[in-house]
Amino acid sequence: MKNIHIKGAPKNFTVKENGKSFIENAYKKASALSQKLKCISFSDDSGIEIFTLGMKPGIRSSRFFRGGKGMLEIVRKVRKKKNKKCCFTCAIVATNPKGELIFKTQKSWHGKVAENPVGNNGFGYDPIFIIPGINKTSAQISSKLKNKISHRAMALKEFIKWLKKARTDVSWSHHLFH
């Protein structure tokens, strides 16, 4: 069986994330890297979407965060609303050496916005994302559990499933593995 060699992007490699969706932003990053390195690349894009705020901040989640001020703004805006539904969304895209799309998936982890930030585990919006059935925020659960049930875990499972299938496909073997 052949081995997979995974390398990170070169230092200072950046791509302007100005797409209109998580998939588009992930594609822009993976495609630019594939073309630069002449190899198959993959990338993700993720964020939080608040239903009552028109699915914002969405693809602008990291810019909206502003050192936690954005998280507190979401809590303040949603606190008196009936609809507190939200979701974390993660898109993963893979592209071939020419930058062409060869895989994509997008998964969402649904929950609701907390009344106040709670918990210290995790990062970003984890302290305001209440997990249904568990009734704790994502920042209150263990990393091990989060890595089993989160949006990233769901998307990664799909990617791994595709990667395993691609690995056994003779036509991909030459390009994917060495």
- Position 10 scores a pLDDT of 84
- Position 178 scores a pLDDT of 34
If one counts every other C-beta atom within 10 angstroms of the C-beta of residue 129, the result is 28
Do 104 and 83 meet the contact criterion of CB atoms below 8 Å apart? Answer: no
Q: What is the pLDDT along the chain (178 residues), one digit of tens a residue?
A: 355 667 788 888 889 999 999 999 999 999 999 999 999 999 999 999 999 999 999 999 999 999 989 999 999 999 999 999 999 999 999 999 999 999 999 999 999 999 999 999 989 999 999 999 999 999 999 999 999 999 999 999 999 999 888 876 645 544 444 3
Query: Which domain CATH number covers 157?
Result: 3.90.950.10
Q: Does residue 126 carry a catalytic annotation?
A: no
Domain that holds residue 140: 22-176
Q: Is 59 inside any structural domain?
A: yes
Q: Is 11 inside any structural domain?
A: no
Amino acid at residue number 57: P
- Position 5 scores a pLDDT of 65
CA atoms within 13 A on the CB side of 164: 6
If one counts every other C-beta atom within 10 angstroms of the C-beta of residue 75, the result is 18
Q: Is 160 inside any structural domain?
A: yes
Whole-structure pTM value = 0.89
Q: Is 41 inside any structural domain?
A: yes
* Whole-number Å distance between alpha carbons of 175 and 97: 9
- Position 53 scores a pLDDT of 97
92's enclosing H/E stretch is strand 85-95
Q: Domain total for the chain?
A: 1
- Position 7 scores a pLDDT of 73
Q: Which residues pair with 44 in a beta bridge?
A: 92
